[in-house]
Amino acid sequence: MTLAAADPGYRIVDPHVHVWKHDAAFPFAAGAKVPDWDATPEMLLALMKANGITKTVIIQVIHYKYDNSYLAAVLKQYPQYFRGVCRVDPLDPAAPDHLSQISGQPGFHGVRLSPAADASGDWISGPLMPPLWKRCQSLRAPMTLLAPITRVPDIQKLVERFPELTVVIDHMADCPVNQPLELEKLVALVRYPKVFVKISHTWSLSKQKYPWLDAQRLVKRLYDTFGPKRLMWATDWPIAKERATYAQRLTVVKDDMAFLNADDKSWILSKTVERVWPFS
């Protein structure tokens, strides 16, 4: 039986993938380190069909930096399948207005920021963040954050200021499996009911083979704290494709996290995602 044939009784929604294409009409950002292969929406749709995934949220890939044109074109071409999360320049005082402009385009819902662990990411604590977060809150646009676990206390200060803003922490803040106590920084966000966590990257964090049991221990800690209604899976396709297949990124949650029951999975694979990115 294929994954597509095994109907779980709800639609599975992937909240995190990337797409790009080597196309002169959509140039990559200067200095971008882009693989020599493409990750097109058509490739993604084939994988979705084969694995029983009906809807997907596409995150603006860093290869285009803050030019969201390619993603806008994909959302226009395939509105029945995709929603999109844009990027804006966190160092640009006009970022809130850019977000408003992008949010007015069909299919976009939310923004992603990526503060680095070193000094280059210190802007997350700087004066340009409150106006951007305030605009997100007024637009009801989810704030999605790719940040290392060491940046979570900085993020918490902003969450404290904007408690009505939906915030999604990507990939368990990439907490190292050999530093499990660091995960308590992320656990501390449980007091804010509009914070959600993606339990993705088990494959990249793990030091083991599938089903990445060492990284599953991080998931279990978050599950015990946040519960399934504030956790969501994700494939992060096609990132680190040498570490895990698209199918494995689904089956590790659907079939191989022994602590999840059927109702938990209905939230993590579907209903939690649609609390943040509702599809009609």
pLDDT tens, position by position, 260-279:
999 999 999 999 999 999 99
Segment 112-141 shows an average pLDDT of 98
Check residue 192 and report its DSSP letter: S
Map residue 256 onto helix, strand or coil.
Answer: coil
Whether 111 and 144 have beta carbons less than 8 Å apart is answered as yes
Look-up: residue for tokens 């009784």? 9
Q: Is the pLDDT of residue 117 over 60?
A: yes
Alpha helices in the chain (DSSP H): 41-51, 69-77, 95-103, 129-139, 152-161, 184-187, 202-205, 213-226, 246-254, 262-266, 272-276
Question: To the nearest whole number, what is the mean pLDDT of the chain?
Answer: 96
Look-up: residue for tokens 């109702």? 263
Task: Give burial (CB, 10 Å; 0-12/13-18/19+) of 22.
Answer: middle
Q: What distance in Å separates the CA atoms of residue 104 and residue 139, rounded to the nearest whole number?
A: 10
Whether 70 and 20 have beta carbons less than 8 Å apart is answered as yes
Q: What is the dihedral of CA 154, 156, 158, 161, to 10 degrees?
A: -140
Check residue 267 and report its DSSP letter: I
Q: Is the pLDDT of residue 3 over 70?
A: no
Question: Confidence band (pLDDT; 50, 70, 90) for 2?
Answer: very low
Segment 128-137 shows an average pLDDT of 98
**Distance, first Cα to last Cα, the chain:** 29
Number of Cβ within a 10 Å radius of residue 27: 14
Q: Is the pLDDT of residue 4 over 80?
A: no
Q: In this predicted structure, what is the pLDDT of residue 6? A: 63
Residue whose C-alpha is closest to residue 54's, from 19, 11, 85, 18: 11
- Catalogue all structural domains in the chain, each as residue range(s) with its CATH number: 12-276 (3.20.20.140)
Q: Is the pLDDT of residue 189 over 80?
A: yes
Q: What distance in Å separates the CA atoms of residue 224 and residue 33, rounded to the nearest whole number?
A: 38
Q: Is the pLDDT of residue 157 over 70?
A: yes
Q: Is the pLDDT of residue 5 over 60?
A: no
Q: What distance in Å separates the CA atoms of residue 65 and residue 71, rounded to the nearest whole number?
A: 11
Q: In this predicted structure, what is the pLDDT of residue 29? A: 97
Q: In this predicted structure, what is the pLDDT of residue 37? A: 97
Question: Confidence band (pLDDT; 50, 70, 90) for 135?
Answer: very high
Whether 197 and 168 have beta carbons less than 8 Å apart is answered as yes
